[in-house]
């Protein structure tokens, strides 16, 4: 079979995922086993449970990815795995599986950065995308802005100083007893709500830098609803959700557009779980059209954690000679 076949493995948080991608662009399979149902009752990811669940399903998920791709393990040219940043116990499961396959098959092991993989997910839907663009990665664990130059050198130019945007959605959903993960639930309620119901603060808009902060916004909602319990009535829930969501979306968009102008970019690329938010996507589309900026927003399944993006980035690391070995380790935090 022509082309390089990369097996991608992703276990950095609570999704066990494997995928086979040819030449960094043709997806042959994409398997994701979600642990949402398990963590739901705790209102968030419990790291110890996450790593145990990864162990239970990792081999099944990898086998399924290879079968669905219609290939054999012996056809795989390299194995690419997320080894940073993420939950240590979870990352170790993926790395252990990748090392075993690399050793047994005698194929290269590539260790990749999860956030860089989110950025590369856009190549799958648009392989012509050139450098010099602005990237916003917004998920349950991260909210960061990146400048990607013409050589695809990625520099972080802003980040959250406390909670990630997805974390704020998840925490507020837990406070409102709506369920987990909170982002999609708040997104759904907001569709029927009035975003001007409560004028929440837009934190950090005047901070003079490109950083974010969402912890105060979360506190503002809790404070307002404790002071006025009527806000928590069922008939106000959609409006409350829509107002909270709009405050997050406004900040994410304004900061990203500012960064785009500051760095002289004409393209914006968004990814990560919160990039699936319908209000964020719609508002981004509108403002980018007005500002004559091209917006790259991957389909929803590609915004969430997956191994397709890990295999895609793995291909580019492989052809650049960035290969790892069996001494590779995992890291809870990591710069790009
Ligand atoms: O990228 P991801 O799958 O995992 C991490 O790397 O964190 O993102 C998960 C996060 C969760 O916080 C979830 O609530 C949020 O993405 N999320 C959303 C939406 N779908 C997922 N947030 C807002 N609106 C959505 N539609
Ligand atoms: Zn992610």
Q: What CATH number does the domain located at 131-300 have?
A: 3.30.420.40
CATH class of the domain comprising 5-119+303-319: alpha beta
Would the CB of 166 count as within 6 Å of ligand 1? yes
pLDDT in tens, the chain (336 residues): 469 999 999 999 999 999 999 999 999 999 999 998 899 888 888 999 999 999 999 999 999 999 999 999 999 999 999 999 999 999 999 999 999 999 999 999 999 999 999 999 988 888 778 789 999 999 999 999 999 999 989 999 999 999 999 999 999 999 999 999 999 999 999 999 999 999 999 999 999 999 999 999 999 999 999 999 999 999 999 999 999 999 999 999 999 999 999 999 999 999 999 999 999 999 999 999 999 999 999 999 999 999 999 999 999 999 999 999 999 999 999 877
Specify the residue for token string 């993006």: 309
Q: Dmax over Cα atoms in the chain, in whole Å?
A: 65
What's the token pair of residue 218?
Answer: 């979360």
Give the residue, by CA position, lying nearest to ligand 1 atom 10.
140
Cβ–ligand 1 distance for 139 under 6 Å, the answer yes
Residue partners of 203: CB distance under 8 A and separation at least 6: 212, 213, 214, 216, 217, 251
Instruction: Please return the burial class of 255, using the count of CB atoms within 10 Å of its CB with bins 0-12, 13-18 and 19+.
Output: buried
pLDDT at 311: 98
Per-domain residue ranges of the chain: 5-119+303-319, 131-300
**Most informative mutation of 50, 270, 274, 275 for ligand 1 (most atoms within 8 A of CB):** 274
CB 313 within 8 A of CB 80: yes
* 5-119+303-319 shares its CATH topology with 131-300: yes
Model pLDDT, residue 125: 84
Quick one: pLDDT at residue 222?
97
Q: Is the Cβ–Cβ distance between 18 and 64 less than 8 Å? A: yes
d(CA 221, CA 238): 14
pLDDT at 54: 98
Q: Identify the nearest ligand to the CA of 164 by its number.
A: 1
Q: How far is the CA of 83 from the centre of ligand 2 (A)?
A: 13
Q: How far is Cα 226 from Cα 241, in angstroms, rounded to an integer?
A: 16
Q: Report how far ligand 1's centroid is from the alpha carbon of 183 (Å).
A: 6
- Number of the ligand 1 atom closest to the C-alpha atom of 271: 1
The secondary structure of 135-170 as a DSSP string is EEEESSS-EEEEEE-TT--EEEEEEBSS--HHHHHH
* CA of 140 relative to ligand 1 center, distance in Å: 5
């Amino acid at each position: 079979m022509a082309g390089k076949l990369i097996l991608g493995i992703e276990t950095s948080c609570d999704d066990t995922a494997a995928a086979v991608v040819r030449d960094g662009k043709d997806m042959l399979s994409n398997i994701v086993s979600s642990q949402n149902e398990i963590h739901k009752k705790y209102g968030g990811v419990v790291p110890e449970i996450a790593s145990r669940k990864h162990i239970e399903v990792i081999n099944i998920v990898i086998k399924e990815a290879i079968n669905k791709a219609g290939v054999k393990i012996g056809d795989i040219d390299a194995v690419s795995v997320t080894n940073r940043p993420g939950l240590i116990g979870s990352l170790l499961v993926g790395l252990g599986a990748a090392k075993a396959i690399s050793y047994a098959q005698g194929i290269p092991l590539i260790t990749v950065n999860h956030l860089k993989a989110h950025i590369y997910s856009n190549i799958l839907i648009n392989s012509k995308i050139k450098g010099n663009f602005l990237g916003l990665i917004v998920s349950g664990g991260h909210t960061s802005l990146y400048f990607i130059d013409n050589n695809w050198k990625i520099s972080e130019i802003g980040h959250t100083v406390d909670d990630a945007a997805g974390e704020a959605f998840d925490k507020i959903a837990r406070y409102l007893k709506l369920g987990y993960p909170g982002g999609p639930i708040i997104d759904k309620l907001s569709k029927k709500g009035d975003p001007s119901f409560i004028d929440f603060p837009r934190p950090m808009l005047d901070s003079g830098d490109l950083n974010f902060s969402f912890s105060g916004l979360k506190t503002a909602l809790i404070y307002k609803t404790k002071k006025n319990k009527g806000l928590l009535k069922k008939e106000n829930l959609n409006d409350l959700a829509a107002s909270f969501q709009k405050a997050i979306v406004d900040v994410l968009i304004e900061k990203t557009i500012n960064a785009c102008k500051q760095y002289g970019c004409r393209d914006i690329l968004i990814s990560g779980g919160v990039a699936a938010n319908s209000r964020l996507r719609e508002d981004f589309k509108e403002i980018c059209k007005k500002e004559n900026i091209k917006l790259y927003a991957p389909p929803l399944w590609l915004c969430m954690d997956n191994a397709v993006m890990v295999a895609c980035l793995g291909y580019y690391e492989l052809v650049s000679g960035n290969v790892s070995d069996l001494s590779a380790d995992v890291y809870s935090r990591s710069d790009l």
